[in-house]
Structure formats: structure tokens, C-alpha cells
Amino acid sequence: MSDPQTVITRFAPSPTGHLHIGGARTALFAWAYAKGRGGRFILRVEDTDRQRSSAESETQILDSLAWLGLGWDDGPEHRLPSGERVGGDERGVGPFHQALRLGIYTDHLDTLIDAELAYHAFETPEELDAKRQHARAEKKAYRYDRAALEIPKAERIRRAESGEACVVRFRMPDEAITVHDQVLGEVTVKPEDMDDFVIRKADGFPTYHFACVVDDELMGVTHVIRGQEHLINTPKHVALQRALGFRTPVYAHLPLIMNPEGSKMSKRDKDRAAREAAKRAGIHTTPVPDLDDSEFKAWLGDSKKQLPTFSLEALAAKLGLELPEIEVDDFQRAGFLPEVVCNYIALLGWSPGGDLEKFDAAFLKETFDLPRIVKTAARFDRKKLLAFNTDALTAMGPAEFKRRWRSWCESEAPDLVRKLSDEQFALMAEANQPRSKTFRDALGFSSFLLVETGEIVYDEKAVKKFVHKNEGQGLRALGELRETLAAVEPWSPAEIESRVEAFAQERELGMGAVAQPLRIACTGTSVSPPIGATLAALGRETALARIDRALEQLAEPAGA
């Protein structure tokens, strides 16, 4: 164990989904608080929900934390993007998966049962539901009635040992419990507002309440930093700590993260966006092969239902919809910088003081403290995050932008990396940096390089505006420009740009009247990087072939 004065925090996700941005903020604050005080940061996997926990979710969570740069001292071993390995069990307080700690929990559970501070209960789910309905009918809050305690202790133990289905409940003390919270102050819960909650489920696994209390004690956790949604659980945890003779850590409950309009930021936002888009498009049967039609229709009609992640993403692709970023890997795939995400979410419910908003992880470690956490909910402003990211990309050195964009593309757009030479990639990096708010933007501006010449689809509105307007002025200019471009030497952005400008001046045409038809011929649209960089990246042979195809495909029929 560590020195009693060592600050030890933990982040304890359940591997039942991807890492929500709110969970990332919790991890960030716990990491910063410990690291800024020379302490230790623990990562613990709370996988006692055996039906919903998955190895895929755990990997995703660990990868997201690693991407954010939040390395942990104790916990599952993992490799950061830098190549550094984190985790391990230097202090001998593992394992760090709760499913591997059942023997530890059983020992402490037996202690409570022997002291008659916990007891087996045998009601079926149907019996408990009937009692809840009865309480609702009488307009009363349901509390477990301790019916199991009418059974003698020896009989309860005998029935449990014989294999009869049962749970174990903790016997709450008949006294008020006060939580001393560093953010919310003193929070007191009266005994009539608490009942004997379950600490071991019928499947033999401990509940969250029991496992986390035992683990926090045995792992030496001194400070528990978590979301305000857990505040309702904390009196239960304090009662358990007292019953087991454990310390009570310092608690700090963080404000919720809300959408700008005030709703809670959650994965349901993705389903809502997709549901609204599907209804606008008039889609009533599933357009996704792996999604059952009846499931799709039920989802359409029920705002509370959620589709599996892969089905939701496939549906969004069919609808041409960009789902709102909710989980950390959403922001990673969207091309945000991890240091920008950390900087921004640090401001959700906390401030370093003054007007300072932009800072790095080192500053956060030195500055973060609990008293500056606010009580009220924070609003997640995607426009502000995007502005932060834009500023960071703009300020980045060209070599750094190229390196990091390439690294992002290797994961999110490997086809671009495979198809482009180093020279082409460098051209696109240099051309796209000033106009990109995210790495995904830079990819979008470069997507014309992934399309085969014979598969280019021309934007009809752009063709009408820049190619066919003024009796085909753009098309004529394109035909004449083709011969000029064929003679350009060297084939470089600066030389191409210079020759196109000279061509426009010689014919007393605006640059747009020449460059836009050329851009449409080479990319299919009127939006691309600067024309010199666009053609240079394509290469002379491909650029001329695209111009030839456009001259053929976009020629207006006689009399049109």
C-alpha cells in the first residue's frame, strides 16, 4: 500500500459501451487531481454486470483514455499511442477487474452476514414487483419491508447454502447519513428515505455499491471524484464503509453535462438525430440489412429505444447523416485533437480562474483543485470546441500537421495513405491546413484523389453555374486551358497557379471563370484546395485525363 498521505484517485468504468465524454471528464479530473499532488491514478474495470459487459467495450474505453493521454499507474496493462506501457500492479492491490475479485467480496460479505448487518432475501422479482405496485397504488415510496428477517438466520443461511435463489441485502442503520461533499457541501439523507439495498445479486456477483466500497478501501483510494448522478448512491456507500470499519474517502460530485438546449447529453442524442432524419426522409422500413424490420419500426415509434451502435452508424451512413459526437471515439474519428478535447472538457464545470480558457495538461495538473468545481450543470458547446480545434490546427507547424494528419488517416482513412505518395500527401497537408477545422475536413478536401477518373460525378448546380453559363464560356475556357496546362513545366502548385492566372488575364476573364471549370473537371465539384495544389496532387497525366473526360461529358448538345 502507498503512504497514508499519498493522494489516490480512481476511474472505474463499466465496460458496457464506449467512453462517454462525461466519463472522460471524470477520468480527466481524477487524473489531474492525483498527478498534480504526486499521487496515483487507478483504472478499475467494474464488470460485474455479466450480461452487458464485453471485452470490446473494455478495449474501446482503454483506447479512448490512452488517446486522451490519461495514463494510469495501477490497473490493466495497456499501451499508449506513444508506445509507453501503463498499468500494472506495483502495489499489489489488484486484480483490477471486479469479476476476478469475487473471493475478496465474499469474505467481506460473510463478515456482514455474521454481524447481522446483511442478510439473505428470497423474494422473486414478481413478488417484489407486486409490492412496488401496491406502494404506488397507495401513493407511497417503496421501501423493502424486511420480510426476509422474519425467517430465522440459521434457516436463511441453510436455504442459501442449499442453492435456493436469493440475494443479499445490507441492513441500513436507522439513522440519518450525512455526506460531506467537496462540491455540494453537506448532504443528509433521512432513514425513511433509504431501504435495505441489494449488495449481492442472485447470480452471485456483487452489486456496484458493495464492490466499489470494498475496492476503494483495499486499493487505498483517498478521493472519489465522480458525476452528480452518483450522489444518490453515496449515503449507501458511507453506511457500508462504517459497517465494515473502512475509511470514508473525500467525495466530490461533478455537475452533469447538458446539451445547449438543456437536455442531458447522452447516446440517446444519436438515436434522436437518426430517428428524426429517417422520418423526414419518409423511411418506414429498415434500410440496413443487419437491422430487423420490426425492430426498426419499434425504434421509430419509441423515443426511448436505442439501436445497437453498428446499426445506428449504418443507418446514419444510409441517410447521409453525421451523428452528434457523444463518446470519446466519436471525437477521435471526427478528427479532433486529444489535447483540445481535454482542454475543452476541463472547462465543463471547472475554471482555472480569470479569463484563461486555453491550457495544456501540465497546466491542468498544476492548477486543478476541487473548490473551483461548480455545482450547476455544464453546457456542451460543440461550436466552441470546434473553434478551439481550428485554432490549434492553424497554430500547428506544417510538419507537425502533416505527421498528425497522416497518423489520423492511417486509422480513419487508410485508402488515402495507401494511394498517395509522400509528395502528394505533403501537398494536401500544406494545402488543407489553413482551411481545416478538423482532420476530417482535410480528408474531405482530399477525397477527389480517391475517385477514379471515369467515376467522377459532376455537381449539376456547379456545372450549370461555372461551365455552361454564358453560352458555355467555362467549357470553352477549359478546352483552351487544356493545351496550356499540357506544357506546364515543372508540374508544381506555384507554376500551375501562375499559368492559370496568366491564362485568365490574357483572355480578360476573372480567375473564378477559369479556375472553377477546371476544378469541376478535376474533382467533380467547385470546392477543393487551391487549384495549383489540386492539379499538382493529381499529377499531370491524371489531371489532363480528367479535363478530357469533362470536355466530353459536359459538352452541351447542339441547340441546348
Mean pLDDT, residues 323-345: 97
The pLDDT value given to residue 494: 96
How sure is the predictor about 195, in pLDDT bands with cuts at 50, 70 and 90?
very high
| Least-confidence region, from 78-82, 233-237, 367-371, 477-481 | 78-82
pTM over 0.85: yes
Give the list of residues 6+ apart from residue 206 with CB closer than 8 angstroms, or none.
48, 98, 102, 105, 109, 199, 200, 214
Q: Is the pLDDT of residue 372 over 90?
A: yes
Q: Which three cell numbers stand for residue 365?
A: 495538473
Whether omega for the bond prior to residue 95 falls within 30 degrees of 0, making it cis, is: yes
What is the C-alpha to C-alpha distance for residues 119 and 155, in angstroms, rounded to an integer?
11
The pLDDT value given to residue 51: 86
Q: Is the pLDDT of residue 536 over 70?
A: yes
The pLDDT value given to residue 79: 85
Helix, strand, coil abundance in the chain, percent, nearest 5:
55, 10, 35
DSSP string, 382-413: HHHHHHHHHHHHHHS-HHHHHHHHHHHHHHH-
Mean pLDDT, residues 199-225: 97
- Write the pLDDT tens digit of every residue in 114-133: 999 999 999 999 999 999 99
Residues designated catalytic: 267
Provide the 8-state DSSP code for 492: -
Residue 75, Ramachandran bin (φ over 0: left; ψ between -120 and 50: alpha; else beta):
left
- Write the pLDDT tens digit of every residue in 248-272: 999 999 999 999 988 989 889 999 9
Q: Is the pLDDT of residue 558 over 70?
A: no
Higher pLDDT, 532 or 84: 532
Amino acid at position 306, single letter: Q
Mean pLDDT, residues 523-531: 95
Q: Which three cell numbers stand for residue 398?
A: 506544417
How sure is the predictor about 4, in pLDDT bands with cuts at 50, 70 and 90?
low
Q: Is the pLDDT of residue 352 over 70?
A: yes
Mean pLDDT of the chain: 94
The pLDDT value given to residue 493: 96
